[in-house]
Amino acid sequence: MNEENKNTYTLKPEEELRFEVDFGRSENDSVKMILTQGTAEIFGTEISQMKPYIFPGGSKLAIYTFSGCTLEMTGVTTNAYVASEAPMSAYYDISEQLEKEREQVNLQNPNSCGPRVLICGAADTGKSSLSKILINYATRLKSSVLFADLDVGQGEISIPGTLSIATVNTPIDIMEGFSLCSPLTYFFGYNSPDKNIPHYKMIVERVAEMLEVKTKHNPEFRRGGYIVNTCGWIEGAGYQLLTSIIQTLKISHVLVMGDDRLTNNLKRDLQPTGQENSNITITRLQKSGGVVNRSTNFRRLSRMQKIREYFNGTATKLSYHSIRLKFDEVQVFRVGNNIQAPAGALPIGEQSNFDPTQPREIPIVATLNSKILAVSHANVESEIPVKNVAGFVHVTGVDMDKREITVSAPSPGKIPKKFLILASLEWLED
């Protein structure tokens, strides 16, 4: 960190400092921030005074203050500026309204439950940021919530290609993110649901079941409800998928990030006319002017960063462990097959027996090298498509003579189950 690049910002009440940190080549490119006076928060998590916070390359953030503050920033930021028109108070009002609904839950009545909120909108409209804000405001008021992140491209909880559920009862750690809660993670394996919509929907159904189970067994989550984050695919089949998710998860509040057309289409399709007291409300929220558009390359780099963090740890820099696995200790599967036989390649009159939700075992070959495999909790083959995963391993070597693969994993010891799932993820460490 270069001491020469030190800036002090003084913010008035209800202003925010927005800044970005470029993806650099070394850790020295990160930025250090210290709150020297007043109070401030990052997407709803309060910042402690005089504690250094380190933001790595790829960070795009806003530090908001309700009462005014002074911040000291060391390191190179891009596009740093102070903005005074943040929609934070509107987001705060929404969270107050949700909290009132939580207070009205009657835990003696098994049908009474807290708000089930889903956030949707196009890519880069602030959905993930609003999810964090709503989670943080709820937990700051001592409510517990279930957070389901269904975004397989830029999810917050686990590595790309996953859908996860986290049980949250304290604000999200600014530097560690969700890595401190032990989430339930489901492996889809691709960065966009369109790669295999039937399988994606199957996992969403499983997520819905698990949310119900957790709600049933924990009064605190029945009261707190859900916050559900989605991906930005809202056109055509993406819109159909969104409405099916809203129904599958029995959502009560849909928050739409600044999109009139999407808001109106959802009202048309989910609140049919004549249905006076519909049990679903659809609210359009203002998109923050600070939300940054991310390029395809930036998205690719941040997915890589998520994978690197998974294996190497975040601020605490855990190191990963190398494990050798005999070919006959494990079985590798794919769900469906992303290479579908073209109709013309089949004999006339014959149908493709391709089922996109079926697991298929694949041989262990040298090309598995550098792939990321999910370690399934499935006990039998048929459970593979919907069972949660224990974690991930990264293949670092395939020895066809010794019939052995070497993998790295974030924790030492044996892997818990023998079924591994392959999809499209790989990691080439640069």
Ligand X SMILES: Nc1ncnc2c1ncn2[C@@H]1O[C@H](COP(=O)(O)OP(=O)(O)O)[C@@H](O)[C@H]1O
Which residues are part of a known binding site?
16, 60, 124-129
Residues 54-93, mask of contacts with ligand X (x by CB under 6 A): ------xxx-----------------------x-------
In whole angstroms, give the CA distance from residue 283 to residue 258.
10
- Interface segment toward Mg ion; rule CB under 5 A; list 109-117, 152-160, 208-216, 279-287: 152-160
In whole angstroms, give the CA distance from residue 52 to residue 1.
13
Residues 231-260, mask of contacts with ligand X (x by CB under 6 A): -x----------------------------
Cβ nearer to ligand X, comparing 60 with 371: 60
| CB of residue 299 to ligand X, shortest distance in Å | 9
Report if residue 30 touches ligand X, rule: CB under 6 A: no
Site for Mg ion in 106-145 (CB under 5 A): 127-128
Query: Residues at the annotated binding site for ATP?
Result: 16, 60, 124-129
14 makes contact, choosing from Mg ion, ligand X, none, with CB < 5 to 8 Å by partner type, with none
User: Which residue do the tokens 């405001």 mark?
Assistant: 137
Cβ nearer to Mg ion, comparing 220 with 259: 259
Cβ nearer to ligand X, comparing 246 with 415: 246
Q: Using the rule CB under 6 A, which residue among 15, 18, 143, 419 binds ligand X? A: 18
| CB of residue 172 to ligand X, shortest distance in Å | 13
Phi, psi of 361 (to 5 degrees): -75, 140
* Cβ 148 vs Cβ 221: under 8 Å: no
Count, residues near ligand X per rule CB under 6 A: 18
| CB of residue 100 to ligand X, shortest distance in Å | 25
174 makes contact, choosing from ligand X, Mg ion, none, with CB < 5 to 8 Å by partner type, with none
- The closest alpha carbon to 359, from 388, 329, 337, 390, belongs to 337
Report if residue 158 touches Mg ion, rule: CB under 5 A: no
139 makes contact, choosing from Mg ion, ligand X, none, with CB < 5 to 8 Å by partner type, with none
Cβ nearer to Mg ion, comparing 126 with 225: 126
125 makes contact, choosing from Mg ion, ligand X, none, with CB < 5 to 8 Å by partner type, with ligand X
* Cβ 314 vs Cβ 115: under 8 Å: no
Residues 6+ away with beta carbon under 8 Å from 279: 252
Q: Using the rule CB under 6 A, which residue among 290, 336, 359, 385 binds ligand X? A: 290
Length of the chain: 430
Report if residue 263 touches Mg ion, rule: CB under 5 A: no
Per-residue burial over 331-357, b if 16 or more Cβ lie within 10 Å, else e, is bbbbbbeeeeeeeeeeeeeeeeeeebe
| CB of residue 226 to ligand X, shortest distance in Å | 17
Site for ligand X in 125-184 (CB under 6 A): 125-129
Cβ nearer to ligand X, comparing 214 with 299: 299
| CB of residue 36 to ligand X, shortest distance in Å | 21
61 makes contact, choosing from ligand X, Mg ion, none, with CB < 5 to 8 Å by partner type, with ligand X
| CB of residue 328 to Mg ion, shortest distance in Å | 41
Report if residue 124 touches ligand X, rule: CB under 6 A: yes
Report if residue 154 touches Mg ion, rule: CB under 5 A: yes
| CB of residue 87 to ligand X, shortest distance in Å | 8
- Applying CB under 6 A, the residues found at the interface with ligand X are 18, 60-62, 86, 121, 123-129, 232, 288, 290-292
- Applying CB under 5 A, the residues found at the interface with Mg ion are 127-128, 154
